[in-house]
Amino acid sequence: MSHADDEETLEDVTPIPAHDKVAVQCFEEAHLEIGAVTHRGAVRSRNEDQYAVIRRRRTSDVLACSLGEAGWSADMAEAWLLVVADGLGGQVSGQVASAAAVRAVLKFANDLSSWIMRPIGDIREDIEERVGLYCEAINREMQAQVEADPSLAGMATTMTSAYMFGKRAAITNVGDSRSYLIRNEELTQITRDHTLAEQLKDHGLPSEVTHAYRNVLTRCFDTTGKPASFDLFLIKLQPGDRLLLCSDGLSDMVSDAQLLRIIGMADSTADACRIMTQTALRNGGRDNITLLLAHMLNTNSEADPAETLHEGSDLESNLSTMS
């Protein structure tokens, strides 16, 4: 968790011009603004990252009704799914792996009509089941790619996602792509890196030892046919919250303190996305850089000020609880 340094200004973290232009896509609704960037970085010859921003709606358009407008309220539900995937395997296979993962999620979200509805019943079981289904879809898509081209065997990808519905969000991750929550001028890493470095830290080894293993993954989507084990975290969103999803091309190059300063000082969501990417490039840009930044602009009712981020519990999927 990091706090901004009052003595540092935005000029201190604004980077020099990068190799390629940083193109930011931005989407704005009444209560939500989302910025998206993907960049090959300053070293890599190709971009093996992928991302998706999916909006699902359930609406009823009343074309004629004798009750009149006062007697009828249209039913409308909206949900958002954000996904970032970082392909592994070198050459073309990493790009194919991340694309297969995002393509599977897109198809799953399109085919499953219940994605547009809010979870019902036991929310933990409902969301865990949904995430399990799209993880299975990713495995099937990657297996199909290998069957079509055996040279792709051994490819893999990480993925982190955020499913936002109403005032709630379900955050998932497999690998070392990260999701962060920015709230009340603090930045918190929601997800946990599935790397050997993290496991060594758990056993008390110092950072001087663990640093060399920070990119050795202990979990990922691959072509072995084995289901990927995912973490799932549930949070309640508040007005002003921001969710940042990114590949390690951002998190390895830009410190948490820098991320917090940029997001806090930038004039807009698009500006924050651009400056974060350019800062990663200025700091070396050793990997592909992909990020999604979602800003909760407003809600219809007051948020619970006591609501906090829940930590993962010791269940098979590290599923968190939500009150």
Tens of pLDDT along the chain (323 residues)? 433 444 445 555 554 444 568 999 999 988 899 999 999 999 988 999 999 999 887 766 667 677 766 655 555 568 899 999 999 976 568 999 999 999 999 888 777 655 545 555 577 788 888 889 889 999 999 999 999 999 999 999 999 999 998 889 999 999 999 999 999 999 999 999 999 999 898 888 888 888 888 889 999 999 988 888 999 999 999 999 999 999 999 999 999 999 999 999 999 999 999 999 999 999 999 999 999 999 999 745 444 433 334 333 333 334 443 33
pLDDT at 250 (0 to 100): 98
CB atoms within 10 A of CB 198: 16
User: CA–CA distance from 167 to each of 135, 235, 301 (Å)?
Assistant: 24, 9, 10
Which amino acid would we find at residue 129? E
d(CA 182, CA 241): 6
Burial of 249 (C-beta count, 10 Å sphere; 0-12/13-18/19+): buried
| The predicted structure's pLDDT at residue 45 | 87
In this prediction, residue 7 carries a pLDDT of: 46
Nearest C-alpha neighbor of 251 from the set 180, 183, 174:
180
pLDDT at 36: 98
**Dihedral of the alpha carbons of 175, 179, 185, 186, in degrees to the nearest 10:** -30
CB 236 within 8 A of CB 322: yes
**Rg of the chain, C-alpha, whole Å:** 20
- The pTM assigned to this predicted structure is 0.83
Distance CA 225, CA 10 (A): 47
Q: What is the dihedral of CA 293, 31, 231, 179, to 10 degrees?
A: 20
Contacts of residue 135, Cβ cutoff 8 Å, sequence gap at least 6: 174, 221, 227, 228, 230
Q: Quote the CA–CA distance of 99 and 89 in Å, as a whole number.
A: 13
Question: Pairing relation of β-strands 168-174 and 156-165?
Answer: antiparallel
Distance CA 88, CA 222 (A): 9
**Spans of all domains in the chain:** 12-56+74-296
The CA–CA distances, whole Å, from 47 to 78, 247, 248 equal 31, 12, 13
Residue 208 to residue 319: CA distance in whole angstroms: 31
pLDDT of residue 13: 52
Strand pairing class (221-222; 25-28): unpaired
Which amino acid, residue 70? A
- What is the domain class of 12-56+74-296 according to CATH? alpha beta
Q: What burial class does residue 160 get, using C-beta atoms within 10 Å of its C-beta: 0-12 exposed, 13-18 middle, 19+ buried?
A: buried
